Amino acid sequence: MPDVKEPDQLYKMRHSLAHVLAQAVTKLWPGTLITIGPPIENGCYYDFLFPQPISDADFGAIEKEMRRIINQGQTFRCDTLSVTDAKKFWRERHQKFKVELIDDLEKNEKVKEVTHYANIGPKGEETFVDLCRGGHVENLKEIPADGFKLMHLAGAYWRGDEKREQLTRIYVVAFPSKDELKAHLAMLEEAKRRDHRKLGKELDLFTFSDLVGPGLPLWTPRGTMLRHLLDQFVWELRSAKGYQRVTIPHITKKELYEVSGHWQKFANELFHITTREGHEFAMKPMNCPHHTQIYACQQRSYRDVPQRYAETTACYRDEQTGELHGLSRVRGFTQDDAHVFCRQSQVKDEILAIWHIVDTFYAAVGFGKLKVRLSLHDPACPEKYLGTPEMWKRAEEALREIAIDRKADFFESLGEAAFYGPKVDFITKDSIGREWQVATIQLDINMPERFNLSCINEKNEEERIVMIHAAIMGSLERFLSIYIEHMAGLFPLWLAPVQIALLPVAGTHEEYALELAKELREKAMRVQTMGSDESLGKRVRDGEKMKIPYLLVMGDREVAEKTVTVRNVKTKKQIAVSRSEFIEKTLIDITTRMLEASIG
C-alpha cells in the first residue's frame, strides 16, 4: 500500500475523500446539486446546493456513510468524454453547475475533451461520477477510516459571485492516522482558546462596529499602544539603516495605477471614487506607486542613491464580505511599508540590511528561527507578470545569490512572485505549530521602467535604478492576528499595553499605591491602579485575565517596609522585593526588550 504520508499520496487521499463526501451526500439527500470539491491544507471541502437545509447534526450520518464507502474498497475509473457528450451526461442528471464548468473549460481553455472519475463498487457497479482532472488513490481502503472528521458548514457563493446561488460548503479534516487527526483536533481546540477575535475583545484591544462597516477595525487605547510600540521598534531599526519618513495621501488618480500596472491587475479590488467634476480616483490599496513620485520629483545623481523611504499608513481593499475574518482579512489595514530606490550594484547590501532588521525584530517579539521562501514567477504563465523573461531571470538570480551567501534556510516556490518582481518571504511557526508568512522583501524590476526612474551615473548618463519593497510586519492587522494568538495575549513586558497593576489590599494602602503609580509613570511605565472596592482575590483574577505581566500587592508590611509583593502573571510566582529593586529590574527588562520578565 502506498505511503499516505508522502505529499503526493496525501493529496490524492484528500482529493479522493472529497469524492467520498459527495457520494455520501448525494445518497443521503437525492437531488443535491454538486459543484467542486478540492483538497486543501489539512483536508478537503465540497460545495453543494441541497434540496433542504442541513446542519452539523447531520454530520454523524454523513461520516457513517463515508466510512461504509471507504470500507467497501471502491476504486476509481477514468473516462474521457468529448465536451458535447460530457455536457449531455450532466444535463441528463440535472447537474447544471457541472455543465457550466464544462462550458467555461471549453471557452477559456479551448478543451475538446474532459475527464470523469467514476467510483466503482465491490461488484463492479458505478456508485458515483464526478467531473475531475484526477489524482486519486487506487483503492479507497488506502484512506484511514478513523483519520478524518467533518468539521463545519459554511456558506459559499457559486463562483464567488454574491449574485449567484448560495451553496453549503462542508469542510473535512483528514490525516494519515487517527493519532495525527487527534493531534490536529487538539491544536484546533488550543487555537480556539487563542483566537485573536476572542482575546481582542477580552483584552480590550480592538472592536468592530456595524455603523462603521465590516472589515474596518477600530483600535482602543490599549490596542493602539500595542500597535505604536511595535511600529516604533520597526522605525528604530529602519532609522539606524538610514531610512527617512515620508507621507502620502490616501487617494490617487486612476492614472497613477494605470502606469504602475495595478489598475489592470486589481481594478475590481479597489474602492473607486468619482469626483463632482467626473474625475476617477481610488483609495490606495498599496503605497509603492506614490513613493515612486517622491523619488521622481527631482533629478537624482548616483551620489543621491540609495533613497530609502519608510511610512506606516492605511490602505484599503474592497474584499468580499464573506472573506473577511477578524484582523486577518480586512478592508482597511495599515502597512509598515518601505521602499529603497538604488542602483543594481547596491541591491545586495540593501537587502542584507533589511534582512537584518527582519531577524532582529522577530527575535525581539518572540518568534523562533525564520524560514525563507524565494517566491519566483511561473514561466508557464507569463501573462500574470510584467516585464521580460530576461528581467525576471536577472532579478531571481540576484535574490538566490543573496540567500546562498547568507546561508539562509530557504526553498524556492514557482508562481508566488508579485506581478512586478520576485520576493524573499519570511515564514515563522507560531507556538501551536502553524506556519505563517510574515515579512517580505521584494525586488521590483518593473516599476522603475514604467515610471522611468533613473539616476545620473559617473559618466553623466542616465542609469535605470531598481526598487526594493520591504515590509517587516506587513499589515499590522494581520501581523497582530498572528501575534495575539502566538502569545495567547500575554505579551512581553516591553510590549504590554498595561505593564503593571497596583493592588492595595485595603483603603488604608491606597495612598502608597498612588504614590508608587506616580513614580512608575514618571519613569514611562504603563500602570493601572485597581482600587480596594472589590476583594483582593477577584482583582488578582481580573489582572490575570487582562494578561497584565506584573500584579503588585500592597498591604501593611509593604507600606511599612517600602516594598512590593510582585505576582508574575506568566509564572504565577510571588516574590517580595524592595520598591527600588523592582523599579531598577523592570526598567532594564523594558529598555532591553526582554522576552521574559525577570522578577518572579
**In one letter, which amino acid is 418?**
A
| 253 in active site | no
Name the catalytic one among 95, 307, 335, 499.
Answer: 335
Interior angle at CA 292, CA 287 and CA 298, nearest 5: 145
Taking alpha carbons only, the member of 223, 266, 284 closest to residue 481 is: 223
Instruction: Assess whether the previous peptide bond of 306 is cis (omega < 30° from 0).
Output: yes
| 423 in active site | yes
| Cβ atoms of residues 509 and 532 within 8 Å | yes
| 315 in active site | no
C-alpha cell at 168: 453549503
Instruction: Give how far Cα 81 sits from Cα of 103, 117, 127, 528, 555, Å.
Output: 14, 11, 18, 72, 84
Name the catalytic one among 194, 284, 317, 509.
Answer: 317
How far apart CA 546 and CA 469 sit, in angstroms, is 37
Phi, psi of 278 (to 5 degrees): 90, 5
**In one letter, which amino acid is 38?**
P
Q: Residue by residue, what is the 3-state secondary structure of 487-503?
A: HCCCCCCCCCCCCEEEE
C-alpha cell at 329: 482579512
Element (H, E) at 288: helix 288-295
User: What are the residues whose beta carbons fall under 8 Å from the beta carbon of 222, sequence distance 6 or more?
Assistant: 203, 204, 205, 497, 498
Tell me the β-bridge partners of 207.
Answer: 218
| Cβ atoms of residues 516 and 564 within 8 Å | yes
User: What are the residues whose beta carbons fall under 8 Å from the beta carbon of 61, sequence distance 6 or more?
Assistant: 28
Q: 391-399 contacts: CB < 8 A, separation 24 or more?
A: 391/445, 391/446, 392/421, 392/422, 392/445, 394/445, 395/421, 395/422, 395/443, 395/445, 396/422, 398/347, 398/348, 398/443, 399/351, 399/374, 399/423, 399/424, 399/443
C-alpha cell at 325: 475574518
C-alpha cell at 527: 500602570
Name the catalytic one among 339, 377, 478, 547.
Answer: 339
Name the catalytic one among 423, 539, 547, 579.
Answer: 423
Instruction: Give how far Cα 347 sits from Cα of 306, 340, 441, Å.
Output: 9, 9, 11
CA R_g for the chain: 29
Other Cβ atoms within 10 Å of 17 Cβ, number: 27
Element (H, E) at 39: strand 39-40
Phi, psi of 463 (to 5 degrees): -125, 125
Tell me the β-bridge partners of 563.
Answer: 578
Element (H, E) at 21: helix 7-28
Taking alpha carbons only, the member of 319, 341, 366 closest to residue 475 is: 319
End-to-end Cα distance, the chain: 55
Length of the chain: 600
C-alpha cell at 205: 484591544
**In one letter, which amino acid is 475?**
S
Phi, psi of 547 (to 5 degrees): 60, 40
| 95 in active site | no
Phi, psi of 335 (to 5 degrees): -110, 135
Taking alpha carbons only, the member of 556, 568, 562, 577 closest to residue 504 is: 556
Name the catalytic one among 194, 469, 478, 579.
Answer: 469
| 335 in active site | yes
| 112 in active site | no
Residues with a known catalytic role:
288, 317, 335, 337, 339, 423, 469
